[in-house]
């Protein structure tokens, strides 16, 4: 089930207060409209009913995708260790002991959206992170002045897209064959990876390739 509650927030522009719906957890199968908003990037959007100012509200939450057997917890950096312990619980006391589920932890809204997109399209986020790292290293080598700080994966009209954010905004289409090639080339090593790896990100990709 999904858990949500209304809270009062103050508009950062006009300072007037209004109600905003906070989701403690979102079950994408039971709330498809909210799931669509998460995937299209509008889920955390706030529009002031008084002055019309738009911004994003930042808060942690759990996203549950039953169809693809996935749980993604968006938390602050300070809460990562706590959620890792909950996800690792083997006694079932935390409520997260669900056989066959992929459990992930992210620490920003873009990463939450990215994971939701990846699993919605039945892809392996580990393969995606390896591809992102390849693109990032290539851009850093060819265009060091761009100073890329973030890279995100999207699926638009069936095409795999990578967005690189830095001094300049770069965007490129990832060939479907590249995904399949990386998936096949690393299949044996990925299969041997430990199950309890909840932070699949650039750091994970770097460490994986160094093994």
Task: Determine the average pLDDT of the residues in 3-27.
Answer: 97
Same domain, 169 and 102: no
**Would strands 45-47 and 54-56 be described as parallel, antiparallel, or unpaired?**
antiparallel
pLDDT for 204 equals 97
Identify whether residues 7 and 50 lie together within a single domain. yes
| Residue 149 sits in the same domain as residue 201 | yes
pTM: predicted TM-score of the whole model, two decimal places: 0.93
Sequence-distant (≥ 6) Cβ neighbours of residue 51 within 8 angstroms: 11, 13, 14, 16
Structural domain containing residue 50: 3-120
- R_g of the chain computed on alpha carbons: 18
pLDDT of residue 94: 57
**Does residue 15 surpass a pLDDT of 70?**
yes
pLDDT value, residue 73: 98
Check: CB of residue 195 under 8 Å from CB of residue 84: no
pLDDT at 99 over 70: yes
Query: What is the average pLDDT score of the chain?
Result: 94
Phi-psi label, residue 105: left if phi above 0, alpha if psi -120 to 50, beta otherwise:
beta
Cα separation, 154 vs 160, in Å, equals 6
| Higher-pLDDT residue of 100, 38 | 38
Considering the domain architecture, whether residues 21 and 108 belong to the same structural domain is answered as yes
Kindly state whether residues 29 and 115 are assigned to the same domain: yes
List, for residues 118-145, the tens digit of each pLDDT value. 999 999 999 999 999 999 999 989 988 8
pLDDT at 201: 97
- Convert the pLDDT of each residue in 22-38 to its tens digit: 999 999 999 999 999 99
Number of structural domains the chain divides into: 2
Please give the C-alpha separations between residue 149 and each of 2, 146, 164, 211, in angstroms, as whole numbers: 33, 9, 8, 24
pLDDT tens per residue across span 35-86: 999 999 999 999 999 999 999 999 999 999 999 999 999 999 999 999 999 9
Region 164-168: what's the mean pLDDT? 90
């Amino acid at each position: 089930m999904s858990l949500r509650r209304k809270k009062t927030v103050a508009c950062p522009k006009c300072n007037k207060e209004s109600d905003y719906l906070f989701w403690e957890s979102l079950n994408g199968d039971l709330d498809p409209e909210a799931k669509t908003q998460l995937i299209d990037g509008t889920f955390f959007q706030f529009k002031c009913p008084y002055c019309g100012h738009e911004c994003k509200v930042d808060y942690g939450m759990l996203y549950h995708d039953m169809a693809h057997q996935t749980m993604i917890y968006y938390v602050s950096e300070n809460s990562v260790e706590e959620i890792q312990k909950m996800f690792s619980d083997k006694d079932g006391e935390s409520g997260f002991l669900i056989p066959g589920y992929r459990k992930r932890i992210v620490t920003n809204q873009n990463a939450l959206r990215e994971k939701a997109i990846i699993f919605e399209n039945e892809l392996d986020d580990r393969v995606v992170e390896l591809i992102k790292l390849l693109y990032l290293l290539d851009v850093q080598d060819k265009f060091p002045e761009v100073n890329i700080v973030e890279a995100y994966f999207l699926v638009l009209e069936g095409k795999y897209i990578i967005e690189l954010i830095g001094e300049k905004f770069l965007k490129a289409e990832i060939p479907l064959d590249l995904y399949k090639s990386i998936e096949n080339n690393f299949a044996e090593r990925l299969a041997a990876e430990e199950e309890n790896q909840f932070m699949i990100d650039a750091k994970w990709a770097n460490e994986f390739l160094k093994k």
